[in-house]
Structure 1
Amino acid sequence: MRLRSRALAVLVALTASLPLGSPAGAQVAHDVSAAATYRGEGDDVVRVPVMAGPAIVKGTHSGESNFIVWAVAGGKQVDLVANEVGEYKGVRAFNTVFPRKVRALEVTADGAWTLQVLPITNARYWPIKAKGAGPDVIRLTAPLRAARRITLRHQGESNFIVWALDNRGRTTKLLANRVGDYRGRVLLPAGTRYATVEADGAWSIAR
Structure 2
Amino acid sequence: MSKGAKIALVGGAGVLVLVLVAGTVVALSLGQGSDETVASAADDEDRDEDDAQGDDDAGGENDGAPSAPSDGESEVFEGSGDELVELDPPHADPQILTVEGNGDGMVSVTVVSEDGDEVGHASSLRGEEGGTRTIYNHRGYDHEITGLDVRTSNDSWTLTIEPLDSLDPWTDPDEPLEGSGRDVVLIDWDTSGVELEMEHDGTSNFIVWGGNPDDGVTDLLANEIGEVDMGEQLSDGTTLLEIDADGDWTLTPA
Q: How does the TM-score come out when normalised to structure 1? A: 0.78
1:82 is aligned to 123
Which structure 2 residues correspond to residues 66-145 of structure 1 after superposition, within 5 A?
A: 66-74=106-114, 75-87=116-128, 89-97=131-139, 98-111=141-154, 112-127=156-171, 128=173, 129-141=176-188, 144=190
Give the whole-Å Cα distance in 1 for the aligned partners of 2:199 and 2:248.
8
Does residue 56 of structure 1 match 2:56? no
Native 8 Å contact 1:46 1:104 kept in 2? yes
CA–CA distance in 2 between the matches of 1:30 and 1:42?
Answer: 24
What is the deviation of 1:145? 5.4
Q: Distance in 2 between matches of 1:162 and 1:169?
A: 18
SS of alignment partner, residue 121 of structure 1 = helix
Q: Pick from 64, 73, 79: which aligns with 1:34? A: 73
Structure 1: gaps of 5 or more residues: 1-22
Q: Which amino acid aligns with 1:96?
A: H
**Share of identical aligned residues, percent?**
27
TM-score (norm 2): 0.65
Unaligned runs of 5+ in 2: 1-59
Q: Which structure shows the bigger proportion of residues in helix conformation?
A: 1
8 Å CA contact 1:146, 1:191 repeated in 2:
yes
Deviating more after overlay: 91-100 vs 37-46? 91-100
Does structure 1 retain, via aligned residues, the 8 Å contact 2:72–2:165?
A: no
Q: 4+ runs of 1 displaced by more than 3 Å?
A: 84-88
Indicate the RMSD between aligned Cα atoms, in angstroms: 2.3
Instruction: Report the more deviating stretch, 118-127 or 49-58.
Output: 118-127
CA contact (8 A) 2:99 2:125 kept: no
Could you say which structure has the greater relative contact order, defined with CA pairs below 8 angstroms and 6 or more residues apart? 1
Matching residue of 1:195: 241
Cα deviation for residue 169 of structure 1 reads 6.9
